[in-house]
Structure 1
Amino acid sequence: MQNLPQKIRSKKLNSRVDLTAMVSVSFLLIIFFMVVGELSKPQAMDLSLPEKYVDDEWSHFISCGSGSNERTITVLLDENNKIITYTGFLFNPLKDPKEINYGKDGIRKELFSQKKTILEYSAALGKPKNGPIVIIKPSKKSNFKNLIDILDEMAIVNIDTYAIVNEFTPEESKLLASK
């Protein structure tokens, strides 16, 4: 018999696919999208605004003499990082309006001082937890950063009662124009 050429059998290649690289890429994508999702959430400060007051109720509030005049601090925000503050109501201020800067030696120091004075006054009246009421009035010329800065100061000084009001009295408009 002759040597018949033997059939050459082809080698069977390994049919297993190495998925290690694909698993690594999948985990990296999952981590990436989790981080991006977390970082894209808006950072916001909790803010609850009161309902718009009715003029009759406001005038009653002013005339009732419930100690609110002594507890009220008004902060006017104007252009060029200008802050004007006064204590009480403008027609009968306990402290004359004055211009203050932002920062720890400016508005923060003033708010700490006013808060201490108001808490002592409230404690003398037998209401030790009645802290200051801050009315924040940003003018149309002030920028959004100034409003955020003053809200940060409210949080730092730990003032619980404050409101953002966008209506200026004619006297306050004159005050901003003169300072």
Structure 2
Amino acid sequence: MAELKSSGGSLRGRNQSRNVSLSPRVDMTPMVDLMFLLITFFMLTTTLSKPVAMPLAMPVNPESEPNTRVPEDRTMTIYIGKENKLHWLVGNSAKPLESSSNDGFQRNTIRNTLRAKNIEAIKRTGDSSKGLIVIIKPSDKSNYKNLVDLLDELNISQIKSYYIVDLVPGDTEIMKKARVY
């Protein structure tokens, strides 16, 4: 509430031409109460951001499903190496059908490659559910950020089948030849 304080005494007997100044005083208690009510209301009605998890497909046990052979032209292996470098190959690692090295995470480099290879695989099979299968092999010199970035690129490229596997002894030689290890 607003209050006006007046100076004490009456104005009789004094000079009537003199202005009397009244000092206003505003009581802030109701505004503080309202502020706390609003803060409490918004805190209770706000929804916090929920963590979003991306589904991750892990390989099945070969003994449980022995007939899981995939054509080599649908398989792409991506090696994650040091200093944000990638090496990918299509087909068997001993005799690749196609390969490239020192591809990094530059703007749209790996994304364009993934999209093109996925479109090629879908055209060859004639079935949109049988696209590219990506095998990701991070090395001990790679960092976690690169793996997450690559998973994001796979998600953007709409590749549904991908696996994260450990390196086998022959993979380090392939990475050393490509100068990514």
Q: TM-score, normalization: structure 1?
A: 0.70
Q: Aligned partners of 1:128, 1:150: CA distance in 2, in Å?
A: 22
More helix by share: 1
Aligned counterparts of 1:174 and 1:59: Cα–Cα separation in 2: 28
Question: C-alpha distance in 2, partners of 1:38/1:130?
Answer: 38
Is the contact between residue 73 and residue 134 of structure 1 (CA under 8 Å) also seen in structure 2? Answer: yes
Is 1:114 matched up with 2:117? yes
The answer for the alignment partner of 1:102 in structure 2 is 105
Q: Percent identity?
A: 25
1:8 aligned residue: none
* Aligned position for 1:7: none
- Supply the distance in 2 between the matched residues of 1:71 and 1:33 (Cα, whole angstroms): 51
* Mapping of residues 157-172 of structure 1, within 5 Å: 157-165=157-165, 167-172=166-171
The residue that corresponds to 1:12 in the other structure is none
Structure-2 change in CA distance of 1:105 and 1:21 (3 Å): closer
* Equivalent in 25, 34, 48 of residue 38 of structure 1: 48
Root mean square deviation, CA, Å: 2.6
Counterpart for residue 176 of structure 2: 177
CA–CA distance in structure 1, aligned partners of residues 64 and 98 of structure 2: 25
Secondary structure of 1:135 counterpart: strand
**CA apart distance, 1:60:** 5.9
CA–CA distance in structure 1, aligned partners of residues 130 and 73 of structure 2: 11
Unaligned runs of 5+ in 1: 1-17
Correspondence 1:22 to 2:25: no
SS at match of 1:100: strand
Question: Which structure 2 residues correspond to residues 141-152 of structure 1 after superposition, within 5 A?
Answer: 141-152=141-152
Q: Flag structure 2 segments of 5+ consecutive residues without an equivalent.
A: 1-28
How far, CA to CA, are the matches of 2:141 and 2:53 in structure 1? Answer: 23
Residue of 82, 86, 90 corresponding to 1:83: 86
Contact residue 78 and residue 134 of structure 2 kept, 8 A: yes
Report which stretch shifted further, 154-163 or 102-111: 102-111
* Alignment deviations for residues 113-139 of structure 1 (CA, whole Å, 9 cap, x no partner): 21121111112xxx4531000111111
TM superposition score normalised by structure 2: 0.70
